[in-house]
Amino acid sequence: MQQKSEAGYYFGPFGGRYVPETLIHALEELEEAYERYKDDPEFVEELNALAKDFVGRPTPLMFAERLTRKWGGANVWFKREDLAHTGAHKINNTLGQILLADRMGKERIIAETGAGQHGVATATVAALYGKECVVYMGDEDTRRQRSNVVRMKLLGAEVRPVTSGSRTLKDATNEAIRDWVTNVEETHYIIGSVVGPAPYPRIVRDLQTVMGREMEAQARERFGGDPDAIVACVGGGSNAIGAFYPFVGRESVRLVGVEAAGRGLDTGEHGASLTGGRPGVLHGNLSYVLQTEDGQIREAHSISAGLDYPSVGPEHSYLKDEGLVEYASVTDEEALEAFVTTARLEGIIPALETAHAISYAEKVAKDLGPGANLLVNLSGRGDKDVDVVADALGIDAHEAEEVSGDG
């Protein structure tokens, strides 16, 4: 047990491998492949070369000057993952996993996706390596994130809408696991966050930690030391873990994960598993889960499809219980406000997921006060969200055209 814990199998009491027996062999195979290749010079070189040339790493650290001035607190810095290829941090994980899949001789790739960012990032690397790709996406989400569906199809992936349950990310994940159980010999499942059975939470964390390492170096270069705080949004929690990991345990760095409070924590319609859930088992691991008294999984709600998930990565549960990271939550309305503010003041349309982090960053910046340095992981861009936001804010594109036509 202790050995497994050290290998990132459990995180305190959380994590583990709660899956049907059929998958055990595949998980062991993945674990072996990862152990074998993670420090293999050829593997590392291939990954680094693609990170640079294909993804565009390192992504910049940008001083958000006008937002800093508006809030009147700490200096606000954006880690620009929105500038990574495909528009979000998700590609860091899919790239590493496709290299593993390739070495394991798997010719078929499957994935689940919520907002579609992970689906696009998976379809992208599958195209790059010439693999067959199937992406499961909740039927509800294929409508919310239409443009990402089209992108995946253009990249040659098959998108399978999922009509079971709440028709969102949770159900897409069930369907992906069912597919994997059925086609396990020739298929690799590229899971999209630090969730799922061991060894996934650790592999995804390691691959996403490239962000945290860059942040550390860039912070030193730009302001000569560690940041005073890092804020990131948490759905499954991969962008947050990737940003936090090198800093965990450093007392001078305040780490804040921001969950989706949806329509408000007291309404029950939210995605804040850490704040509003309790430990349980979903999708192969033990973690905080939104559930009924009887252990039925509750439907999450968030305006952002990527945070619309009733559980969270097991390492976050551990970090919460150990008090190493603080977790807060932001409502749909507050996220929308931050979305618009960031667009207007900084010329960046952030993903709705990211807007949750930005919204809470205002509180943290004010807490810290002028002179301190606050990093926000700008995990993705919001092009995919414009329809949802237009609906929510009543922006009519057609009306704008008419006005310009009259002029």
Partner 1 sequence: MTGSERLQAAFSEGRVALVPYLTAGYPTLEGAYSVGEAYVEAGADVVEIGVPFSDPLADGPTIQDTTTRALENGADLGYCLELASRFADRVPVLLLIYYNSVFARGVRRFLDDAAGAGVSGLVIPDLPIDEALDFREMAAEKGVAICPLAAPTTDDERLDKIAEAASGFVYCVSVAGVTGAREKLPPGAVELLRRARSMVSVPVVLGFGISSAGTAVEAGAEADGLIIGSKLMQVVAEEGPEGAGAWLREVREALDSAVCAKAGSRD
- Residues annotated as catalytic are 90, 112, 379
User: What single letter denotes the amino acid at residue 266?
Assistant: D
Of 279, 367, 372, 387, the residue at the interface with partner 1 (CB under 8 A) is 279
Peptide bond into 350 cis (omega under 30): no
Give the integer Cα–Cα distance in Å for 77 and 73: 12
Q: How far is CA 40 from each of CA 32, 44, 46, 101, rounded to the nearest angstrom?
A: 13, 6, 10, 15
Are 75 and 108 in contact, with CB atoms under 8 Å apart? no
Closest by CA position to 11, among listed 261, 328, 237, 304: 237
CB of 254 to partner 1, least distance (A): 33
Give the integer Cα–Cα distance in Å for 312 and 321: 13
118 contacts: CB under 8 Å, gap ≥ 6: 90, 93, 94, 111, 112, 192, 193
Say whether residue 348 binds partner 1 (CB under 8 A).
Answer: no
Give the integer Cα–Cα distance in Å for 195 and 385: 24
Of 142, 174, 208, 275, the residue at the interface with partner 1 (CB under 8 A) is 174
Say whether residue 5 binds partner 1 (CB under 8 A).
Answer: no
Say whether residue 165 binds partner 1 (CB under 8 A).
Answer: yes
Of 6, 221, 266, 294, the residue at the interface with partner 1 (CB under 8 A) is 294
Say whether residue 260 binds partner 1 (CB under 8 A).
Answer: no
CB of 325 to partner 1, least distance (A): 24
Q: How far is CA 217 from each of CA 212, 224, 245, 315, 358, rounded to the nearest angstrom?
A: 9, 9, 14, 24, 22
Of 92, 122, 291, 302, the residue at the interface with partner 1 (CB under 8 A) is 291
Beta carbon nearer to partner 1, 31 or 332: 31
Give the integer Cα–Cα distance in Å for 399 and 24: 56
CB of 277 to partner 1, least distance (A): 12
Measured in whole angstroms, the distance separating CA 40 from the mean position of its chain's CA atoms is 26
SS3 (DSSP) at 14? strand
Of 295, 396, 400, 401, the residue at the interface with partner 1 (CB under 8 A) is 295
Say whether residue 354 binds partner 1 (CB under 8 A).
Answer: no
Say whether residue 6 binds partner 1 (CB under 8 A).
Answer: no
Beta carbon nearer to partner 1, 48 or 164: 164
Say whether residue 156 binds partner 1 (CB under 8 A).
Answer: no
Say whether residue 196 binds partner 1 (CB under 8 A).
Answer: no
Q: Is 321 exposed, middle or buried (0-12, 13-18, 19+ CB in 10 A)?
A: middle
Say whether residue 164 binds partner 1 (CB under 8 A).
Answer: yes
Of 8, 19, 71, 159, the residue at the interface with partner 1 (CB under 8 A) is 19
Q: Copy the structure tokens of residue 116.
A: 């579609």
Say whether residue 248 binds partner 1 (CB under 8 A).
Answer: no
Beta carbon nearer to partner 1, 270 or 283: 283
- Under rule CB under 8 A, how many of the chain's residues touch partner 1? 37
Taking contact as CB under 8 A, which single stretch among the options 93-101, 150-158, 286-294, 333-341 is the one that binds partner 1? 286-294
Say whether residue 3 binds partner 1 (CB under 8 A).
Answer: no
CB of 100 to partner 1, least distance (A): 19
Q: How far is CA 282 from each of CA 196, 236, 285, 305, 328, rounded to the nearest angstrom?
A: 8, 12, 6, 18, 22
Q: Phi/psi of residue 22, each to 5°?
A: -55, -30
CB of 17 to partner 1, least distance (A): 6
Say whether residue 290 binds partner 1 (CB under 8 A).
Answer: no
- Which residues contact partner 1 by CB under 8 A? 16-26, 164-165, 170-171, 174, 177-178, 181-185, 279-284, 286, 289, 291, 293-297
